[in-house]
A = this chain, B = another copy of it.
Amino acid sequence: MKLNDITIKDIAERANVSKSTVSRVLNDLAIVNPKTRKTVLEAAESLGYQANVFARGLASGRSMTVGVVTQKIGSPFYDMMMQGVIQGFTGTGYSPIFVDGQWEQSTELDVIRTLMGRKVDGLILLGGDISQKDLDQLREQIPTVVVGKDVAGWEGQCVYVDNFSGAYDATQHLIEFGHREIAIVRGIIHHQDAIRRFQGYAQALADASIELDPDLVLDGNFTAQSGIIAVNSLLMRGKSFTAVFCANDMVAYGARLALQRKGIRVPEDVSIVGFDDQAESSYVSPPLTTVRQPGVEMGVVAAEGIVQLMQGGTCEFPVMNAELQRRESVARITSQ
């Protein structure tokens, strides 16, 4: 099946040393005579040796893999983080193995169990909904970092963006442009990011002495479809509004479409702001003003951090910040 049946033993014979010596050279964890070392290295090289991961894993207990739990492959923000993770691991000797939690707590626990069964050396959780208890328990068994949310008691060991100030900036931007009737389509109700974003929105309004109007607060679930529904219900109710701040870009797309269907122009009649800055957002019509999350960077940082952790070190992540990308979906309001 595999061409590569050269083992450490073959090298040993070729170099006239014992298996142990070869192993020591290959992992350089003991002093070996430089000359011997060279001979072994050459032998290994010329034979094209590649260690058998099973044997190594069995003997050492380490697998050189880390499990990465994502929530839904194909979801823009999580995909960015995955890219970052891959990037962050290249050259470290560790390989990520990705599994998908499908946004479901039970599935998530399942896949983590599978990962543990596969003896991963570390765990990166991208988002997810596991309970604090399970999380804490997990961390005791295996080096873990969480990306995309902050967990109580894990200060510095979570990579996340400041959703509050991102949302605050976005809302303030709308206010600066003269908007006062600003609707919001929230994300999944118990989702941490969604909550923080709502708080940022609320604070920005408060700071501008604009009363928060409950009728302008709609619930959604991060999908384009939910943006459509939210806008339609807003329209149906006959509520007046000049801008809508969306839970993420997909919701913004939906909102945009729903408005157009009613003959309402964006941004001339209603302005829209999204959150995420997914790849398409620069190219839709009009290009979407949105809050950029540094997804790729977060992935990179997480990968680097877990490597530290697995090597017995510690890691301390800074809070990443989300930056408003001003494009063309927001217009100035002159008079009402």
Q: Are B99 and A287 in contact (CB under 8 A)?
A: no
In chain A between 52 and 73, which residues have their CB closer than 8 angstroms to a CB of chain B? Answer: 52-55, 57-58, 61, 63, 65, 72-73
Whether a CB of chain B sits under 8 angstroms from the CB of A192 is no
User: Is A333 on the interface with B (CB-CB < 8 A)?
Assistant: no
| Most-contacted residue by chain B among A2, A86, A283 (CB, 10 A) | A283
Q: Which residue of B lies closest to A60 (CB)?
A: B54
Which size class do A's interface residues fall under? 35 or more
Whether A280 sits at the interface, judged by CB under 8 Å, is yes
Q: Report the bound CA distance from A99 to B336 in whole Å.
A: 54
Would you give the shortest CB distance from A299 to chain B, in whole angstroms? Answer: 10
Q: Do A80 and B86 touch across chains, with their CB atoms under 8 A apart?
A: no
- A184: Cβ under 8 A from any B Cβ: no
B61→A117 contact, CB < 8 A:
no
Q: Is the CB of A97 within 8 A of B95?
A: yes
Docked CA distance A185–B197 (Å): 40
Are the C-beta atoms of A119 and B54 separated by less than 8 Å?
Answer: yes
Minimal beta-carbon separation of A84 from chain B (angstroms): 10
B74/A100 in contact, CB under 8 A: no
User: Are B116 and A53 in contact (CB-based, < 8 A)?
Assistant: no
> Ordered nearest first, which 7 A-B pairs have the shortest CB separation?
A54-B57, A54-B58, A74-B79, A253-B283, A224-B283, A97-B97, A98-B98
22 contacts across the A-B interface (CB closer than 8 A) = A2-B119, A3-B141, A54-B57, A57-B57, A65-B118, A72-B83, A73-B83, A74-B82, A86-B99, A86-B100, A95-B97, A95-B118, A96-B98, A98-B98, A224-B283, A250-B279, A250-B280, A253-B280, A257-B284, A257-B285, A284-B284, A285-B285
